[in-house]
Amino acid sequence: MTSAPARRSRTYAPRMSPEERREQLLDAVLKIIVEQGIHKVSMDTVAREVGVTRPVVYGVFSDTDDLLRASLDRETNAALAQVHPLLTALRESTDPGPAIIAYLDGFLTEVLAAPDRWRAAFSLVDSTTPKFRRRIERQRKAITELLENYLRDTPGIPAMDIEMTARVIFTLAWEAGRMLLSEPEIFTRERLLTFARTIVADHFATSSALEK
């Protein structure tokens, strides 16, 4: 008589609190965006990434859009928390040249502190998903306006096109962060900061000369 095959015990997802599970799933969303692209995010891919069943994911999020909205909310809030102290320090400085370089240096530090978050941000700007691209653009606009206000309110700033200058500063920092993550061997932090010092020094020197 042949004995019955042993029943394989089923593997269950470790028990977590709802908040812990939510954070675990959002970590998986971020990983998928960075490694595969936003178009690969789904309830199935997130479940597979975490090693749980789809009902576990549906127990926390209603659908893929809900997942993506929650991920974007979390990463946007975290990114703004990283940038806010840099903008505060910038506003408190009355010497714009060194202050802008310090802002850029701090931004690169924050990018390296959370590389996946910023890789996702850089990639979402190029995304073909309009609603996510628009949301990132709103945050970029808010930071640019803060830079404009700083330049406009700082005593002793030479005459210049404030709006253009603020956009150049933002773009310089944004692209420096992108290059630092994508090609760190070529675009080292030291190289990026050296170039930025030249650009900023030349810009303010030219503006001062034109004012005279």
Q: What is the pLDDT of residues 28-58, one digit of tens each?
A: 999 999 999 988 999 999 999 999 999 999 9
CATH T-level fold of 72-211: Tetracycline Repressor; domain 2 (1.10.357)
Q: What is the pLDDT of residues 194-204, one digit of tens each?
A: 999 998 877 76
Q: What is the pLDDT of residues 68-119, one digit of tens each?
A: 999 989 998 999 899 999 989 988 888 888 999 999 999 999 999 999 999 9
State in Å, rounded, how far the first CA of the chain is from the last one: 104
Amino acid, res. 205: A
Instruction: Please determine, for residue 11, whether its predicted confidence score (pLDDT) is greater than 60.
Output: no
111, 82 contact by CB (below 8 A) = no
Checking phi first, is residue 37 left (phi over 0); if not, alpha (psi -120 to 50) or beta?
left
Report the C-alpha gap between 20 and 4 in whole angstroms: 40
Domain ranges of the chain: 15-62, 72-211
| CATH number belonging to domain 15-62 | 1.10.10.60
Listed residue (19, 29, 10, 5) closest to 124, CA to CA:
29
Report the C-alpha gap between 169 and 204 in whole angstroms: 12
The total number of residues written for the chain in this structure: 212
The predicted model scores a pTM of 0.82
137, 206 contact by CB (below 8 A) = no
Report the C-alpha gap between 136 and 115 in whole angstroms: 17
Average pLDDT in the chain: 86
Distances (CA, A) of 118 to 41, 84, 110, 199: 17, 15, 9, 24
Q: What is the pLDDT of residues 153-163, one digit of tens each?
A: 877 666 678 88
Q: What's the CA dihedral at 117, 123, 126, 131 to 10 degrees?
A: -50
User: What is the widest separation between alpha-carbon atoms in the chain?
Assistant: 104
162, 152 contact by CB (below 8 A) = yes
Report the C-alpha gap between 185 and 187 in whole angstroms: 6
Indicate the helix (H) or strand (E) that contains 15.
none
- Helix (H/G/I), strand (E/B), else coil: 26: helix
Report the C-alpha gap between 100 and 81 in whole angstroms: 19
Token pair of 61 as six digits: 């999020």
Same fold? 15-62, 72-211:
no
